[in-house]
Chains A and B, each alone.
Chain A
Amino acid sequence: MTVVDVLSGRDTARQTPAETANTKRRRRGAIGLLSPSLILVLGVFVAPLAIMLWRAFTDPEVGFGNFTWYLTDAVQHDVLIRTFTTALIVTVVCLVVGYPFAYAMVAFGPKVRAVLTLLILVPFWTSLMVRTFAWVILLQDNGPVHSVFKFVGLEQVRLIRTNLGVVIGMSQILLPFMVLPLYAVMVSIDRRLVMASASLGARPLTSFRRIWVPLSMPGVGAGCLMVFISSLGFYVTPALLGSPNNSLISQQIYVQVNSLLQWGKGGAMGVVLLILTFAVLAVLMLALRRAAREEQHE
């Protein structure tokens, strides 16, 4: 079961015709069972988003003022581009590092698999704040990583308060979100297909490229989706490892609301970030669904 299945509801049980007799009674029961969650989500998730939307269009005055400001401001334009580039780089780094790792999790024996799984799960469960703080220590000026760089003659490379530092920290923190979906898909790939291609004369690299890689694509899609979407809205790590000069959109929203009390501008930026996130989500999910459907037709 991948993230995409869960979000598109493909993992729910389907009903057989014989079960429809009880449906009415059950339907009433379902409304009762759903209401606590619905109240919670409507009250604490939908309502705040609605307030933000309202503020974006009315604060300080009614109209599209905040959006015209956002779309014409050169600084905000750069921030948006930087946010997307950072998210893209982090996703690529996670994929390049995570794919071989996930492959190794299924390619070797149970002992190696247990060790590698543990090595993914420990950072996955470790507090985000602890991991970010550790990176602050490592990347600080004259810190351990900087000393190593100095030793090999790269003393001019600065890490903390730079985009490089943000990318290093974010990709390490988000790597488990790439590896876990990849592993979930790879573990269910039928290995006999690879063996069959080998017995038909394909060299290992050919069967890897033409059998294994295409079959692992749902995992690649789900992993990239998780990492890219998380990167777009990431706040803590870029705020502590980056600087105001190379801030991402989430830091800008924080500054607008918390420091400048510009609720309207912050709200407009929030609307933009929300729309972009769900647009990326929709495009990637449609692509994955289409790929899955084509696979079924073949």
Chain B
Amino acid sequence: MTPRTNTFWRTLLLLFCGIVALWLVAPSLVVIPLSFTDRPSFNFPPAGWSTQWYTNFFTDPSWMYALQASLRVGALVTVVATACGTAAAVAFSRTRFFGDQGIRALLLSPMVAPVIVVAIGLYAMFLRLNLLGTTLGFVVAHSVLALPFVIIPVSASLQGFDRRLEDAAAICGAGRWTVFRTVTLPIVAPGVMSGALFAFATSFDEVVLSLFIQSPYLQTLPVRMYSSVTRDTDPTIAAAATLILALTTGLTIIASIYAIRRNRVS
């Protein structure tokens, strides 16, 4: 049902998409062969092979601490940002009050403001409050950046929500909390789930803010990678990158298959 293009144009378009696809996906794959190199250099392609950089990644305390810090901060940010963002989205969908559009724009603005600008202000503030290199500091800083990515999908799933369902449950004698738990939550669950996923990804990926609020005692994985690239040529970073790449690609493929199946059922 497409605008009638002849075979020539269709082939040309597919060929173009193939090249773009290669440009999108192939570059990241260079980290895989590099992670198996046998000498401490970034020469590509590697001359010989070894798995020493993986051993190094899992035994070097600085990489292990960074991985643990990233997972810990990511998990806490997921909880904090999802809870705050869901509550805010529910508030926006329920009432209109004076200044609600302004508050909404304020809560979404961390998404568009240049991170480096927030980072220098936050650096000054955390320096004064002794929050540099603390889990608390990382969690609140990442949560602010993640908040818009929770509010948007939850608002979207609340958009088609018929509020009379809540009223019906209340008429049947359900308390406020029961109404929320048995009616509201199941309906907004997909939105909350994707918000939580975005929140974790935002935190796990964040480099710029983290560069400013880190300390030698607490670095997240992207910060450890950044300092590795800028300071030395240590292929351990390629091993770390390969592991992250394998994990995210696997999760994306699983999620896509799940989404396609669910669409087919409904």
- Interface residues in chain A, defined as those with a beta carbon under 8 Å from any beta carbon in chain B: 1, 6-7, 9, 11-15, 19, 23, 26-27, 29-31, 33-34, 36-38, 40-41, 43-52, 55, 97, 100-101, 103-104, 107-108, 112, 114, 116-123, 125-131, 133-138, 140, 142-144, 172, 175-176, 191, 194-195, 198, 204, 207-208, 212, 229, 232-233, 235-236, 240, 250, 253-254, 257-258, 263, 266-267, 270-271, 273-274, 277-278, 281
Whole-angstrom CA separation of A271 from B115 in the bound complex:
12
Whole-angstrom CA separation of A12 from B207 in the bound complex:
32
Whole-angstrom CA separation of A144 from B159 in the bound complex:
49
B256 near A48 with CB under 8 A, answer: no
Query: In the complex, which residue of chain A has the Cβ closest to the Cβ of B222?
Result: A129
B112 near A281 with CB under 8 A, answer: yes
A45 near B24 with CB under 8 A, answer: no
One of A19, A34, A127, A229 near B248 (C-beta < 8 A): A127
Q: DSSP majority for the A interface? A: helix
Cβ of B116 within 8 Å of any chain A Cβ, yes or no, is yes
Whole-angstrom CA separation of A30 from B204 in the bound complex:
31
A48 near B125 with CB under 8 A, answer: yes
Number of interface residues of B (CB under 8 A): 100
- B residues near A123, Cβ cutoff 8 Å: 24-25, 28
B248 to chain A, nearest CB (A): 5
A13 near B159 with CB under 8 A, answer: yes
A215 to chain B, nearest CB (A): 12
- B residues near A34, Cβ cutoff 8 Å: 87-88, 91, 103
A129 near B205 with CB under 8 A, answer: yes
Cβ of B2 within 8 Å of any chain A Cβ, yes or no, is yes
B224 to chain A, nearest CB (A): 9
Given contacts A45-B109, A133-B241, A12 and B117 within 8 Å (CB-CB): no
Cβ of B165 within 8 Å of any chain A Cβ, yes or no, is no
Given contacts A33-B87, A144-B30, A233-B115, A270 and B120 within 8 Å (CB-CB): yes
Q: List 14 A-B contacts (CB under 8 A).
A: A1-B156, A11-B156, A13-B158, A30-B95, A33-B90, A34-B103, A41-B110, A48-B121, A107-B2, A117-B256, A125-B248, A127-B244, A130-B31, A271-B117
B245 near A130 with CB under 8 A, answer: yes
- B residues near A130, Cβ cutoff 8 Å: 28, 31, 225, 241, 244-245
One of B5, B24, B31, B237 near A172 (C-beta < 8 A): B24
B158 to chain A, nearest CB (A): 7
A122 near B4 with CB under 8 A, answer: no
One of A13, A19, A44, A235 near B208 (C-beta < 8 A): A235
Whole-angstrom CA separation of A139 from B9 in the bound complex:
33
Given contacts A134-B30, A140-B42, A207-B3, 5 further A-B contacts (CB under 8 A): A9-B104, A100-B13, A108-B14, A129-B205, A257-B120
Cβ of B20 within 8 Å of any chain A Cβ, yes or no, is yes
A133 near B31 with CB under 8 A, answer: yes
A40 near B140 with CB under 8 A, answer: yes
Cβ of B183 within 8 Å of any chain A Cβ, yes or no, is no
Whole-angstrom CA separation of A111 from B120 in the bound complex:
46
Whole-angstrom CA separation of A229 from B114 in the bound complex:
8
Between B16, B83, B114, B201, the greatest number of chain A beta carbons within 10 A of the residue's beta carbon is seen for B114
A90 to chain B, nearest CB (A): 14
B121 near A11 with CB under 8 A, answer: no
Whole-angstrom CA separation of A283 from B176 in the bound complex:
44
A270 near B94 with CB under 8 A, answer: no
Cβ of B123 within 8 Å of any chain A Cβ, yes or no, is yes
- A residues near B251, Cβ cutoff 8 Å: 125
A12 near B92 with CB under 8 A, answer: yes
Between A33, A55, A129, A258, the greatest number of chain B beta carbons within 10 A of the residue's beta carbon is seen for A129
- B residues near A97, Cβ cutoff 8 Å: 20, 23
B44 near A144 with CB under 8 A, answer: yes
A137 near B42 with CB under 8 A, answer: yes
Whole-angstrom CA separation of A34 from B20 in the bound complex:
43
One of B107, B158, B252 near A38 (C-beta < 8 A): B107
- B residues near A266, Cβ cutoff 8 Å: 120
Query: In the complex, which residue of chain B has the Cβ closest to the Cβ of A139?
Result: B27
Cβ of B229 within 8 Å of any chain A Cβ, yes or no, is yes
Whole-angstrom CA separation of A216 from B117 in the bound complex:
33
Given contacts A15-B96, A43-B140, A33 and B91 within 8 Å (CB-CB): yes
Query: In the complex, which residue of chain B has the Cβ closest to the Cβ of A237?
Result: B207
Whole-angstrom CA separation of A117 from B238 in the bound complex:
27
Query: In the complex, which residue of chain B has the Cβ closest to the Cβ of A7?
Result: B108
A114 near B256 with CB under 8 A, answer: yes
Whole-angstrom CA separation of A273 from B201 in the bound complex:
26
Of residues 37 through 69 on chain B, the ones whose CB sits less than 8 Å from some CB of chain A are 42-45
- B residues near A131, Cβ cutoff 8 Å: 27-28
Q: Which 6 A-B pairs have the closest CB atoms?
A: A233-B114, A48-B121, A33-B91, A52-B121, A30-B91, A270-B117
A37 near B141 with CB under 8 A, answer: no
Query: In the complex, which residue of chain B has the Cβ closest to the Cβ of A98?
Result: B20
A137 near B156 with CB under 8 A, answer: no
Between B83, B84, B256, the greatest number of chain A beta carbons within 10 A of the residue's beta carbon is seen for B84
Between A50, A122, A194, the greatest number of chain B beta carbons within 10 A of the residue's beta carbon is seen for A122
